[in-house]
Amino acid sequence: MLLVWHFLRSDKRRSPLTFKVLNLPGESLLRGIEKHDEGYYEKAGILMLVGPVVLSAWLLARMDRVVDDWTAMQFGKGDAIFAVVGIGAFVWAVVGLIRHLHARRKYLDGRAAELAVAQALIPLIADGALIYHDFPGDKFNIDHIVIGGGAVFAIETKSRRKPRGGGKDSARVDYDGARLKFPSHGETKPIDQARRQAQWLEKFLGSGVGESVRVIPLVALPGWYVQSRVQRPDVLVSNCHNSSFMMKGSFGPTMSPAMRKRIAHVLTERYPQMDS
């Protein structure tokens, strides 16, 4: 198998695909899901093997002392060491298994939310919007970027589960311009994160196109009803169910087609090259 793997990797021919590859929605989260899948199967394998391996090692260690009469066997410190090692390895594998399952569920929820927002953004294409997903920044990714009518929108998508009980109040999140108030808790980190990413993107696009570009931060909460208590917050919050507001002129004068193309070119060049 190693020889076959080496042969497959040693192909010196070049790939015909030499263009930039734009990410799909939630692509980095998909890589995280695959990583936790590998960790889960690794811990599950260890969990299945730790018992037989430790028991076999213990039997081999005892074999020279007790061959025929197992009733004469007495347990000592060496046997306790084998027991501690076996139990410790078992507990370590179980804890790792639970950790990977919990993280995998969060990644799955996040990816489902990003796919939902991406789907809600599709109708904007008919109005001339340009949309980019999973945009690579400096050690972070921007979930969605929309080149709208008069501004660019940097969208940070968050997945939050609703309480068990039904009703309108269980599906509502209040926004006061600085804090998200869910039925069970409040958060400020998504607002701060969206603001920082939009500031970075504004500087990045400004240096790329040679003039200032307005970037509006937006936190997307698909599936929630957002009740905003401020008229013009610096960070927007929306479920993006109806995303047509991004193409309206209320965010500044309409950008020229030439400017939109320059912004699109700068964004596209940031994506990695197709692997050869």
What number is the average pLDDT over the span 119-144? Answer: 94
Amino acid 119: pLDDT: 94
More confident residue, 65 or 187: 187
CA separation (Å) from 131 to 19, 149, 154, 195, 245? 18, 12, 10, 19, 15
CA separation (Å) from 132 to 26, 65, 251, 268? 11, 69, 19, 8
User: If you average pLDDT over every residue of the chain, what do you get?
Assistant: 84
| CATH of the domain spanning 125-270, picked from 3.30.70, 3.40.50, 3.40.1350, 3.30.160 | 3.40.1350
Q: Supply the pTM of this predicted model.
A: 0.79
pLDDT higher than threshold 60 for residue 150: yes
Rounded to an integer, what distance in angstroms lies between the CA atom of residue 258 and that of residue 246?
Answer: 19
pLDDT higher than threshold 60 for residue 131: yes
Amino acid 68: pLDDT: 55
Pair of tokens at residue 36? 């936790």
Q: Is 118 exposed, middle or buried (0-12, 13-18, 19+ CB in 10 A)?
A: buried
- Reference 250, options 150, 126, 131; nearest CA is 150
Among 76-85, 87-96, 132-141, 142-151, whose mean pLDDT is lowest?
A: 76-85
What number is the average pLDDT over the span 242-247? Answer: 91
pLDDT higher than threshold 60 for residue 54: yes
pLDDT higher than threshold 90 for residue 18: no
